[in-house]
Amino acid sequence: NVRLGGLGPDYEAVREKVEKLRQQKEYAKQINEHNMKNITSVQRSPAKPNVTTSVSRQKALEYAKKIPRPKTFVTRQPEEEVREERVLSQILRRHHLPQIASLETLQDRHEKEKQVVAAFRALHIL
């Protein structure tokens, strides 16, 4: 019995393919359920705490406690620098400057500001 192809669709071949796919899906579902049961039944061993880092940290802390701290040296400033700082603080305290009337006052102001800049440079701020 040989069946030759026809012009219409072959329903039997389609049914066979559909049945095969359904069986594959059913098998995959069964395997998935089986694996899920095995995973839950097998208890994982608790992860080891990282002992090496805590031990090394403890050693480092003990070492740090034993090392003497460096001494800090307090140096006194020369009187000139202290005076300059006082002048700077007085100048910076002024919130507004008075109205400037003449060229001489402008020149005086310029000289004072030069001194302020020089003082900042001496303090290594600029």
- Return all residues near 88 (Cβ < 8 A) that are at least 6 apart: 116, 119, 120
Any domain includes 71: no
Any domain includes 74: no
* Rounded distance between C-alpha atoms, residue 18 and residue 22, angstroms: 6
> Nearest Cα to 116, choosing from 43, 125, 42?
125
Q: Mean pLDDT for the chain?
A: 79
Any domain includes 19: yes
Any domain includes 28: yes
- pLDDT tens-digit map of 54-75: 888 899 899 988 988 888 776 6
- In 4-102, alpha helices (H): 11-41, 51-66, 79-93
The pTM of the full predicted model, rounded to 2 decimals, is 0.30
Total structural domains within the chain:
1
Backbone angles phi, psi at 72, to 5 degrees: -95, 135
Residue 24 belongs to domain spanning: 11-43
R_g of the chain computed on alpha carbons: 45
Q: What is the mean pLDDT of each run of 10 residues along the chain (126 residues)?
A: 74 92 97 89 61 79 87 71 71 58 85 90 76
How far is CA 30 from each of CA 41, 94, 114, rounded to the nearest angstrom? 17, 86, 90
